[in-house]
Amino acid sequence: MSDRDAVTAQNVVKAFGQGKASVRALDDVSLTIRKGEFFTLLGPSGCGKTTLLRLIAGFEMPTSGTILLDGQDVTDLPPNRRPVNTVFQSYALFPHLTVRENVGFALKMQGRKAAEIDDRTNQMLALVKLETLAERKTAQLSGGQQQRVALARALAPQPKVLLLDEPLSALDLKLRKEMQTELKRLQKETGITFVFVTHDQEEALTMSDRVAVMSAGKLQQVAPPRDIYTAPVNRFVADFIGETNFLAASPVPGGMRLGCGAIIAATGDGPVLTIRPEQVQIVPAETPGAIPATVDGLVYLGTDMHAHLRLSDGEALTARLPLPPGGDAGLAVGDRAAVTFAPGAARLIRD
Amino acid sequence: MSRAEDKQARDSARNGWLLSAPALTLLTFAAAGPLLIVLVYSFLQKGDYGNVIWEFSLDGWVGILFSRDIFDGTLGLADAHLTIFWRSVKLSLLTTLITFALGFPTAWFIATRPPTERAGWLFLITIPFWTNLLIRTFAIGEILRSEGLVNSALMALGVIETPIQMLYTDGAVLVGMAYVYLPLMVLPLYAAIERFDMRLLEAGYDLYASRTQVLRNVILPIVRPGIVAGSILVFVPSLGAYVTPRVLGGGKNMMIGNFIELQFGQGRNWPLGAALSMTLLVIVTVALLFYVRAVNRGASGGGHG
pLDDT along chain A (351 residues), means of 10: 83 89 90 95 93 95 94 94 95 95 96 95 93 93 92 95 92 88 91 95 93 95 94 93 90 86 86 92 87 91 89 91 81 89 89 83
3-state secondary structure of A268: strand
Quickly count: other Cβ atoms within 10 Å of residue A260's Cβ: 17
Cα–Cα–Cα angle for A277, A280, A285, rounded to 5 degrees: 135
Considering only CB atoms, A96 lies closest to which of B207, B208, B303, namely: B303
Contact A65/B at CB under 8 A: no
3-state secondary structure of A262: coil
- Decide if pLDDT at B100 tops 90: yes
- Decide if pLDDT at B302 tops 70: no
Considering only CB atoms, A80 lies closest to which of B199, B205, B298, namely: B205
Q: For residue B267, give the amino acid letter.
A: G
Q: From the CA of A216, how many Å to the nearest CA of chain B? A: 25
Q: From the CA of B105, how many Å to the nearest CA of chain A? A: 22
pLDDT at residue B297, as a whole number: 67
Question: Which carries the bigger pLDDT value, residue A259 or residue B194?
Answer: B194
pLDDT at residue A120, as a whole number: 95
- Decide if pLDDT at B67 tops 50: yes
- Decide if pLDDT at B304 tops 50: no
Quickly count: other Cβ atoms within 10 Å of residue B281's Cβ: 14
- Longest CA–CA span in chain A (Å) reads 79
Question: Could you tell me whether strands A84-87 and A161-165 are parallel, antiparallel, or unpaired per DSSP bridges?
Answer: parallel
The model's pTM is: 0.82
Considering only CB atoms, B206 lies closest to which of A79, A96, A97, namely: A79
- Answer for the pair A310, A296: CB distance below 8 angstroms, yes or no: yes
Confidence band of B5 (pLDDT split at 50, 70, 90): confident
- B47-to-B60, B275, B287 alpha-carbon distances in Å: 12, 15, 33
3-state secondary structure of A108: helix
The Cβ-side half-sphere exposure at A295, using a 13 Å CA radius, reads 23
pLDDT at residue B299, as a whole number: 55
From chain A, the residues in CB contact with B202 under 8 A are: 59, 79, 86, 88, 92
- Decide if pLDDT at B301 tops 60: no
**What HEC string does chain B produce?**
CCHHHHHHHHHHHHHHHHHHHHHHHHHHHHHHHHHHHHHHHCCEEECECECEEEEECCHHHHHHHEEECCCCCCEEECHHHHHHHHHHHHHHHHHHHHHHHHHHHHHHHHHCCCHHHHHHHHHHHHHHHHCCHHHHHHHHHHHHCCCCHHHHHHHHCCCCCCCCCCCCCHHHHHHHHHHHHHHHHHHHHHHHHHHCCCHHHHHHHHCCCCHHHHHHHHHHHHCHHHHHHHHHHHHHHHHCCCHHHHHHHCCCCCCHHHHHHHHHCCCCCHHHHHHHHHHHHHHHHHHHHHHHHHHHHHHHCCCCC
pLDDT at residue B1, as a whole number: 62
Mutate to test the interface with B, among A74, A80, A93, A163 (most CBs of B within 10 A): A80
Q: Which residues pair with A298 in a beta bridge?
A: A307
pLDDT at residue B182, as a whole number: 94
Contact A210/B at CB under 8 A: no
pLDDT at residue B95, as a whole number: 97
Contact A57/B at CB under 8 A: yes
Kind and range of the H or E run holding A86: strand A84-87
pLDDT at residue B80, as a whole number: 86
- Listed in sequence order, the DSSP H helices in A215-280 are 225-230, 235-240
From chain B, the residues in CB contact with A157 under 8 A are: 207-208
Question: Which carries the bigger pLDDT value, residue B251 or residue A173?
Answer: A173
Rounded to whole angstroms, the Cα distance separating B287 from B290 reads: 5
Are A78 and B205 an interchain contact pair (Cβ–Cβ within 8 Å)? yes
Tens of pLDDT, residues B252-300:
888 999 999 999 988 889 999 999 999 999 988 988 888 788 777 655 4
- B4-to-A1, B10, B12, B152 alpha-carbon distances in Å: 76, 10, 12, 78
From chain A, the residues in CB contact with B208 under 8 A are: 80-81, 106, 109-110, 157
Are B218 and A94 an interchain contact pair (Cβ–Cβ within 8 Å)? yes
- Decide if pLDDT at B303 tops 70: no
Rounded to whole angstroms, the Cα distance separating A286 from A289 reads: 9
Rounded to whole angstroms, the Cα distance separating B156 from B162 reads: 11
pLDDT at residue B298, as a whole number: 58
Contact A16/B at CB under 8 A: no
